[in-house]
Amino acid sequence: MDANIWPDTGEIRVAHTERWSSTPDMLLAAAWLERNGLRPESLLIAACALVVAWVNDADSASLAISCDGSHKATRVQRVDVSLAQDPIQLCRDVDREYADSDYGPATAACDALLTITSSCRPSHGRLCGEFRLGIGIVIEGLTVREVAITYDPRITATAMVRSIERGIIRAAACVPTCPTLSDIEWLSQEEYQRIVYRWNATRAPYNYERCLHWLFEEQAQRTPDAVALEFHGQILSYFELEQRSRSLACELRSRGVDCDVLVPLCAERSVAMVIGILGILRAGGAYVPIDPRSPDEHTARVLENVAPELLVIEARWQVRMARFGLPLLPIEDHSATVEARPCLGLGRPDALACVIHTSGSTGLPKGTLLEHRALLNNILWLQENWPLGAGEAVLQKTPFTFDVSIKEFLWPLCVGGRLVMAQPGRHLDMPYLGRLIQEHRVAVTHFVPSILQSFLTMPGVEACVSIRLVMCGAEVLSPEIVGRFFSVLGAKLLHLYGPTEAAISVTGWVCDRFVQSLRAVPLGRPMSNVHIYLLNRAMQPVPPGVPGELFIGGVALARGYLRQPQLTQQCFVDDPFAVPGSEGRLYRTRDRARYTADGVIEFLGRFDRQVKINGTRIEPEEIEITLRKHPALDRAAVAALADGHGRLRLVAYVVCKTAAAPSPFELHRYCTARLPAYMVPSAFVALSQLPLLVNGKVDYAALPVSA
């Protein structure tokens, strides 16, 4: 498999040449060239410029071109290409460069050598960098005899070289008849069918006419005496958990909770938290996780967005949450007795199950609306491919404000497993987690890569022999971590990828020891009933090796964002492909990825500034907006920088209005009072001014990295 991810930008030290010989030779459009008064070289150089823009998905391409066919040479320093540009005009622009030089007409044989450098500029947190290619084209008269590409195999995948070769030929053939670049057919019909349809043939006969809590109710009827939940010395059977959650559900129903009613749930990890989640779902409502330790300002913004009628809480947080002026429903007070009404089978499969709030670039958290069937797809896929046996334990340690927690809670309870919960605040305590795994014989757990690395280096980790499956995702997983994993644990490692907007995860990749030879662990292939497309700016599929933006389709998609119709419209777009099982919409992730030759997906970075730290999605813009509200600050910029161990941390750069600058301690305290702990920068750097681009925006690539 060809899966070498691009390293950081650097000088090319190793070069490799691939040669392609046309069979039959490619004939250039003689009549078209003559009619427009163009040289053959103009068409080929324009085609190369189009291919560079296509490969980079960029607005422009920088070409340094030298042509030698009559013992004279010319050099075109820059050719700009945009998606709306007329390719014919591009050919004329290239030809005009020749007219202004001393380059004469080509002789019988012309060897045109082009050196191509992309205009991609590296920035903080991006995995992609420049790629440099040498393209040699040999033409005789109007016939292309050979295309030879010189490239650095550390940077450019072989699959991309093949696509560039084909792209040059197709662009040269299409230019005479295409009004704009977006009209060029970059893929053959066979390639299009393979990429769009065969690689998305994921249809599976899952039953979506069910709600998540219905599966729990059915399981409780089958195995009432089996252990459902273990937490800090407390053990609940399926019967007990069903009874307590039913009591809460009946109380919620009496208070008007029904389908698509949003119910905030404020609790720390506890038995009450699980009863609260199940009780809200069983009433037909959708739970909205509220971290009781979040700053009041952040909690107030979330509650304002939800606009609830009541707040379900763990009893110990009544005093703290009373300040928000909502009716409070303590879980413990309403889950002890069972109502006569059954409260079974309530809800709808297409109704909301929960709303997960993530960091927002507008300065406000954004709530993602997740339906039962989208979450059910993920759980059914897991159970089909990694079946959880009766009584097998899943460790629940992810804060319930993050979407990964959903499968930790509900997967075991839907299929007869055991839910083992870590104590609140101890999900990063590796020795404690090791003891918990051993004592409760945990079989399945989830780690983000940075935390998995800490777990694997913990003394005695080899004793966690009960683990058979570790799921890992939400960050880039390095081959080094995979190598360490297999050296200390005899378990399977499943690499998962997926944004909150697509119900937890949408691709999977089973790691093996040989992944250490790769530059990064692939994202894998789409899950059942999920479609993945890698598209350029013209919404066209890209071939293997060529980077594109990752779009997600299928049943996993969220309904949209809570009370943000404009943002929903921007991020959830129409699906133009109509693959069987399509839901008619695609979610644009802003993730940059590419296919290998056999359809495996590799992650290359982000198109925007979103970052993930310890698996948590963070929009730096939200932190910047908060900082700019400080009365002493004029401007602020936030970047994610890697420390000496490769772990990302947030650094805030501030420009003060006066000479009396607030101290880093004061700024830290200011942010702590307004932002969740995971969004508070670890360092604050005062600058006299922020580096700016020519358009006046902050030049994040020029921020000092010594912070």
Amino acid at 32: W
- Give Cα 350 to chain centroid, integer Å: 24
Edge to edge, the sheet with strand 143-151 lists: 16-27, 143-151, 132-140, 109-117, 62-68, 73-76
The angle formed by the CA atoms of residues 104, 108 and 110, to the nearest 5 degrees, is 65
Give the DSSP letter of residue 196: I
Lowest mean pLDDT among 146-155, 318-327, 580-589: 146-155
pLDDT category at 550 given cuts 50, 70, 90 is very high
| Residue 645 pLDDT | 66
Q: Which two tokens stand for residue 401?
A: 């404000």
C-alpha–C-alpha distance, residues 29 and 164, integer Å: 20
Q: Between β-strands 469-473 and 442-447, what pairing exists: parallel, antiparallel or unpaired?
A: parallel
| Residue 22 pLDDT | 42
Q: What's the sign of the alpha-carbon dihedral 612, 617, 623, 625?
A: positive
The answer to whether 289 touches 409, Cβ cutoff 8 Å, is: no
pLDDT mean over 313-340? 86
Amino acid at 580: P
C-alpha–C-alpha distance, residues 361 and 370, integer Å: 20
Q: What's the sign of the alpha-carbon dihedral 334, 338, 341, 343?
A: positive
| Residue 269 pLDDT | 96
pLDDT tens for each residue of 447-486: 988 889 889 999 999 999 999 999 998 888 888 889 999 9
Is residue 579 predicted with pLDDT exceeding 90? Answer: no
Amino acid at 531: H
Instruction: Write down the mean pLDDT value for the chain.
Output: 83
pLDDT category at 644 given cuts 50, 70, 90 is low
Give the DSSP letter of residue 332: G
603 CB-contact burial (10 Å; exposed 0-12 / middle 13-18 / buried 19+): buried
| Residue 101 pLDDT | 54
C-alpha–C-alpha distance, residues 359 and 362, integer Å: 9
This prediction has a pTM of 0.84
Q: Which two tokens stand for residue 525?
A: 């292939």
400 CB-contact burial (10 Å; exposed 0-12 / middle 13-18 / buried 19+): buried
Class of domain 16-186 as given by CATH: alpha beta
pLDDT tens for each residue of 16-70: 555 544 434 667 777 888 777 777 777 877 787 777 777 766 666 666 655 554 4
pLDDT category at 422 given cuts 50, 70, 90 is very high
| Residue 67 pLDDT | 55
The answer to whether 2 touches 157, Cβ cutoff 8 Å, is: yes
Lowest mean pLDDT among 128-132, 559-563, 614-618: 128-132
The answer to whether 299 touches 290, Cβ cutoff 8 Å, is: yes
C-alpha–C-alpha distance, residues 467 and 297, integer Å: 40
pLDDT category at 553 given cuts 50, 70, 90 is very high
Domains of the chain by residue range:
16-186, 619-702
% of the chain beyond a pLDDT of 90: 48
| Interior/surface letters 649-661, b for 16+ CB within 10 angstroms, e for the rest | ebbbbbbbeeeeb
pLDDT mean over 221-235? 96
| Residue 610 pLDDT | 79
- The domain 619-702 is placed in CATH, from the list 3.40.50.1860, 3.40.50.300, 3.30.300.30, 2.40.50.140, at 3.30.300.30
The answer to whether 636 touches 624, Cβ cutoff 8 Å, is: yes
pLDDT tens for each residue of 258-279: 999 999 999 999 999 999 999 9
C-alpha–C-alpha distance, residues 192 and 172, integer Å: 19
Lowest mean pLDDT among 163-167, 201-205, 288-292, 553-557: 163-167
pLDDT category at 661 given cuts 50, 70, 90 is confident
pLDDT tens for each residue of 516-527: 556 678 999 999
C-alpha–C-alpha distance, residues 67 and 401, integer Å: 60
Is residue 358 predicted with pLDDT exceeding 80? Answer: yes
The answer to whether 426 touches 299, Cβ cutoff 8 Å, is: no
Identify which has the larger pLDDT, 312 or 705: 312
Is residue 341 predicted with pLDDT exceeding 80? Answer: no
List strand residue ranges (DSSP E) for 538-669, in order.
548-554, 560-561, 572-574, 585-595, 601-606, 611-613, 616-618, 633-642, 648-656
Identify which has the larger pLDDT, 577 or 91: 577
The residues, ordered by sequence, that sit 6+ positions from 565 with a Cβ below 8 Å of its Cβ are none
| Residue 411 pLDDT | 98
Is residue 514 predicted with pLDDT exceeding 80? Answer: no
Lowest mean pLDDT among 59-68, 343-352, 493-502, 557-566: 59-68
Question: Residue 556: which region, alpha, beta or left (left: phi > 0; alpha: psi -120 to 50)?
Answer: alpha
The answer to whether 356 touches 399, Cβ cutoff 8 Å, is: no
| Residue 66 pLDDT | 58
